[in-house]
Amino acid sequence: MPTDPTELAATVDAATELVRSACARLGLSVVAVTKAGAVQEHELYMAWLAAGHAGELTYLHRDAEARRDVRSLLPEAQSIVTVALSYQFPFEDAVLPGHGKVARYARGRDYHLVLKARLQQLVDALAESLGASLGQPLVSRICVDTAPLLERAIAASAGLGFIGKNTLLITPGVGSYTVLGEVLLSCPLPVSAPSAPRCGDCRLCLDACPTEALHAPFQLDARRCISYLTIENSGPIPEPLRPKLADWIFGCDLCQSVCPYNVRAQPGDPELLPKPALCSPALGQLLAIGAAQYRQLVKRTALRRINRNSLLRNVAVALGNVGTAADLPVIGAALLREPALVREHLAWAAAELATRHPEVIPLALEILDQALAVETEPAVRVALDSARNRLAVLGSREDASRGGL
């Protein structure tokens, strides 16, 4: 690194221009820079963990100290280049009976693959152009969502946007439908100015959350978040929360879909264009897919984050909420085939579906009886008994109602 102030300033200016021009060339037009060091919001993060709001995300506790200072990831780091890539595309998100929803970020190609590839090109360009002027090799590290980094706090401190009341980064003119990436660099760069929060009195995101996971502005209880329940949670979904999941089978966009900053956002990056098969998948078809079909469905998408059992558990809950009478035989077949976790949720789904479609109560009772006859798992038997008892009572009321006519 040059020691003469004039030479140092020229090197830094050249590096800054190179970063911005290279980012623009790579389709990373939303870019900002901040100093590598301690993250001011770390204490708030620790308080959030201490309150238990992370649920079973044990890795957040394990990596908590590493998130205090980005130099724990790269001791030589002096600057952080942070970028946002939009996945915003027009889509009708109305509930469609018999169909499920996937969070928008997961409908296209896996953003980890897309963003890492572009950031690697950025690093290659910087290393080639800056190596000589720095007088030493450029040291860098690329981070895309998987490193122990408080990336939203860092992006906000860099002026890439501000943290909204839904705890997500909002970039005016771009919105919140973005994925973030960072490059830690061993050279100094001029930093950008932070953006002030601009939510004002708006609370649309808080009011839109059906599980009250956003229990206060800027406060998220992950244990109640639909994204957590359908992705990070590997066990049963608490029964009281199941109806609130509606048709979501992977993630949730409700707190973003109501945000005014997303109304006029420009279309997202073409490489993240949604795949038609993931925009409004038929739940009955998903419940019937085998292991090979599952692997093909999630290939090179963010849906790889969960296994087939978790996906079918989510599908079962969605069928209970928005499934049609025609989906009941598919539920019946799956009750005799799928793992215990899925069967437990399918029992609940059969009762919920039949409650909404009373004409299929006799078929639902028959399906539950067939499943009970062969079921050996205690938890599943409890779910089957509960579902059958509910429908038996409801069926008796329906019979009495018809008899009184």
CB contact set of 347 (below 8 Å; sequence gap of 6+): 335, 368, 371, 380, 383, 384, 386, 387
Does residue 350 contact residue 361 with C-beta atoms inside 8 Å? no
Q: Locate tokens 């953006």: which residue?
A: 195
* Nearest-angstrom CA–CA distance, 291 and 299: 12
Half-sphere exposure of 233 (CA within 13 A, CB side): 22
Residue 319 has which token pair?
């069928």
Torsion angles phi and psi, residue 328, rounded to 5: -60, -45
- The one-character DSSP state at 216 is B
Residue 248 pairs with which residues in a beta bridge?
Answer: 101
Residues carrying an active site annotation: 145
| Amino acid occupying residue 356 | R
The helix, strand and coil proportions of the chain, stated in percent and rounded to the nearest 5, come to: 55, 10, 35
**Residue 151: closest CA among 178, 175, 187:** 178
